[in-house]
Amino acid sequence: MRALILAAGLVLAGLPAVAADKPPPPASVLFWSQAQKEAGFPKMEAYFPMSTAARGDQVHELPAGAPLAVARVGGRTFDLAEYMAREKTAGILVLQDGKVRLERYGLGYGPEGRWTSFSVAKSVTSTLVGAAVKDGYIQSLDDAVTRYIPGLKGSAYDQVSVRQLLTMTSGVKWNEDYTDAKSDVALLFSTPADPGLDSTVSYMRRLPREAAPGAKWVYKTGETNLIGVLVTSATGKSLSAYLSEKIWKPYGMEKDALWMIDERGQEAGGCCLSMTLRDYGRVGEFLRTGGIGAS
């Protein structure tokens, strides 16, 4: 059966009023209203510092395929415009075999605009780990995390491998409750860093252990942020620069991507990577076809 890929469906959510010289803490995004999401997600660079993953000179084309006429969800058929309005959807792109079968926009969003990702960024960050292994920057996924992030030495991450960090099986205790202002995922972005340390490393090294490494899976945005720090440390390059080098330029993304950074210039590996809807589709195609030169 030929695969039908929903390359990207952006359920989009006006921005909080902030002083131009003082951006809001990244954790505030977790608690934005629907109106704030709809205004803020397409222009995160107006509110937070960002780095750029530059596109190249060539564009990977997405030719038109046979159009899809209806939207079917859960066995029900919907008028697409009605469905998008009801679900507050800003963009839908459906690709099949690299061809565009459906592309629609709403909420004032359009093909030239970027939209921020949250956990989709995790897949991009982990893909860069694969590139770093292939390039020889990371010797093995079974290496200790502390080999690449010395700031974690003496913490609950002492016996954790890169593989366990990637699979969120470190055994380190974590709370990912997006409705709780005291959860780890909220405090990660709002707790002042120890002097001389990356803010993610500073927070994560304070966490206690709750299980042996490899014994328990818990979803942890903080650990993908650590993966981003690890890639930067291993390669000596920012995540944005490495993304540009390994994917954005050679694969032919249509527009520069923007990635939220902290006060030390480190990208948030677990979230906050902004790109166009079609470039989300190209990321899907990059992964589906096996990368550069395989499509």
pLDDT, one tens digit for every residue, the chain (295 residues)? 333 333 333 333 334 444 334 556 666 788 888 888 898 999 999 999 999 999 999 999 999 999 986 666 778 777 888 888 889 999 999 999 999 999 999 999 999 999 999 999 999 999 999 999 999 999 999 999 999 999 999 999 999 999 999 999 999 999 999 989 999 999 998 898 999 899 999 999 999 999 999 999 999 999 999 999 999 999 999 999 999 999 999 999 999 999 999 888 999 999 999 999 999 999 999 999 988 765 4
CA–CA gap between residue 81 and residue 241 (Å, rounded) = 38
Residue 128 domain-assigned? no
- pLDDT computed for residue 19 by the predictor: 36
For residue 103, which phi and psi values (nearest 5 degrees)?
A: -150, 115
Residue 246 domain-assigned? no
Amino acid at 92: I
b/e burial code for range 83-100 (CB count within 10 A of at least 16 → b): bbeeeebbbbbbbbebeb
- Pair 216, 96: CB distance under 8 Å: no
Query: Can you give the pTM of this predicted structure?
Result: 0.87
Residue 155 domain-assigned? yes
Q: Are residues 10 and 113 in the same domain?
A: yes
Expressed as residue numbers, the domain containing 271 is 4-118+252-289
CA–CA gap between residue 10 and residue 77 (Å, rounded) = 20
- pLDDT computed for residue 104 by the predictor: 94
Q: Are residues 176 and 146 in the same domain?
A: yes
For residue 168, which phi and psi values (nearest 5 degrees)?
A: 55, 40
CA–CA gap between residue 276 and residue 254 (Å, rounded) = 8
Q: Are residues 174 and 216 in the same domain?
A: yes
Residue 9 domain-assigned? yes
- pLDDT computed for residue 25 by the predictor: 61
Residue 123 domain-assigned? no
- The stretches of 107-198 forming alpha helices (DSSP H) are 120-134, 162-166, 184-187
CA–CA gap between residue 198 and residue 289 (Å, rounded) = 35
- pLDDT computed for residue 291 by the predictor: 82
Burial class (CB in 10 A: 0-12, 13-18, 19+), 43: middle
Q: Are residues 10 and 88 in the same domain?
A: yes
Residue among 11, 35, 6 nearest 106 (CA): 11
Residue 214 domain-assigned? yes
Residue 53 domain-assigned? yes
Q: Are residues 265 and 223 in the same domain?
A: no
- pLDDT computed for residue 173 by the predictor: 98
Residue 145 domain-assigned? yes
Bridge-based pairing of strands 99-105 and 89-96 is antiparallel
Query: Measuring CA to CA, how many Å separate 190 from each of 33, 39, 113, 121?
Result: 19, 22, 28, 20
Tokens of 240: 């944005």
- pLDDT computed for residue 26 by the predictor: 67
3-state secondary structure of 151: helix
The terminus-to-terminus CA distance of the chain in angstroms comes to 18
Which residue is it, tokens 């913490």?
155
Query: For position 174, which CATH number holds?
Result: 1.20.58.710
Give all strands of the β-sheet with 4-11 in edge-to-edge order. Answer: 4-11, 89-96, 99-105
Q: Are residues 259 and 113 in the same domain?
A: yes
CA–CA gap between residue 154 and residue 133 (Å, rounded) = 25
Element (H, E) at 280: helix 277-289
CA–CA gap between residue 260 and residue 17 (Å, rounded) = 19
Q: Are residues 223 and 261 in the same domain?
A: no
Q: Are residues 225 and 282 in the same domain?
A: no
- pLDDT computed for residue 294 by the predictor: 57
Q: Are residues 92 and 171 in the same domain?
A: no
Which residue is it, tokens 């480190």?
266
Q: Are residues 12 and 41 in the same domain?
A: yes
CA–CA gap between residue 293 and residue 175 (Å, rounded) = 40
Q: Are residues 220 and 264 in the same domain?
A: no
Q: How many domains does the chain have?
A: 2
Q: Are residues 12 and 110 in the same domain?
A: yes
